[in-house]
Amino acid sequence: MTKDQAMLAEAENLLHDDDNIDNMYLTFAIGDETYGVPIAVVTEIVGMQRIMTVPDVPRYIKGVINLRGKVIPLMDVRLRFKLEERAYDDRTVIIVLELSGSPVGLIVDRVSEVLEIADDHIDSARGMGGGESQGLVQGLGRVGENVAIILNSEMLVSDVELSMPEAVSA
């Protein structure tokens, strides 16, 4: 292989990698449900740590943590979904996302795995009921027998009051 060819091959690999990342989702559990967020917005996963409370934020923002000099607000996903609060245990983790240039940590019951879900395996969440026009649920990813609820992560941090589509919370 000539040098040029090698470079081309590498470039193609990189492109391919990017494609892969687009279809990769980090899945996590809230109760019995499995949710997924695109891996591209995930910066890191850290264990539960000491939370410092902050005034003037919605109830689902539990406070902030200082992660190596970065202040990261934490969102309790259960509270965001208006589910009942649950005490944190040793499986509770924080998934740190970078959304619109700002970090936010999601407190979830536990992380599951990273899944590759092709676009044609994701069913649109349109018409799923619930009054929300811009849905929090982007789609339902079919993985074998199971279903991962793919979240529209930008919506998590939007000000819009959430009402979970009935079809999902049922």
Partner 1 sequence: MSAEVETVADKQATAGALLRVSSQKISRLMDLVGELSLSVSETVNSPDLDHTGDRTQFEAAAHRLNMIVREVQDAATELRLVPVDEVFKRLKRMIREMERQTGKRITLEVNGADTAIDKMVADRLYDPLLHVLRNSADHGLEQTEERIAVGKPEKGVITLSAAQVGSEVQIVVGDDGRGLNREKILGIARKRGLYGPDEEPTNSKLWKVIFEPGFSTAEKVSNLSGRGVGMDVLNTTMRDLRGRIAVDSTEGVGTQVSLHIPVSLAFLDCILLRQGTHLFAVPVEDIFEIVKPDAESCMSISAGSRSEMLRLRESHVPVCRLEHFYGDTLPDLAPLSDTVVIVLKAGSRLIAVPVDEVLDRQQVVMKPLSGVLAQVRASWGCALLGTGEVALVLDAERLAAGER
Binding site for partner 1 (CB under 8 A): 52-58, 61, 64-66, 68-71, 73, 75, 99-104, 157
Measured from the Cβ of residue 122, the count of other Cβ atoms closer than 10 Å reads 18
Nearer to partner 1, 104 or 117 (CB): 104
Nearer to partner 1, 48 or 157 (CB): 157
Minimum CB distance to partner 1, residue 50 (Å): 8
- Euclidean distance between CA atoms 12 and 48, whole angstroms: 39
Minimum CB distance to partner 1, residue 52 (Å): 5
Nearer to partner 1, 128 or 157 (CB): 157
Nearer to partner 1, 13 or 102 (CB): 102
Tokens of 44: 């890191």
Minimum CB distance to partner 1, residue 96 (Å): 12
Minimum CB distance to partner 1, residue 80 (Å): 11
- Euclidean distance between CA atoms 170 and 167, whole angstroms: 6
Nearer to partner 1, 66 or 169 (CB): 66
Q: What is the DSSP letter of 11?
A: H
In contact, 115 and 25? CB cutoff 8 Å: yes
In contact, 66 and 77? CB cutoff 8 Å: no
- Euclidean distance between CA atoms 77 and 167, whole angstroms: 18
Minimum CB distance to partner 1, residue 82 (Å): 17
What is the rounded (10 degree) CA torsion for 121, 117, 61, 52? 170
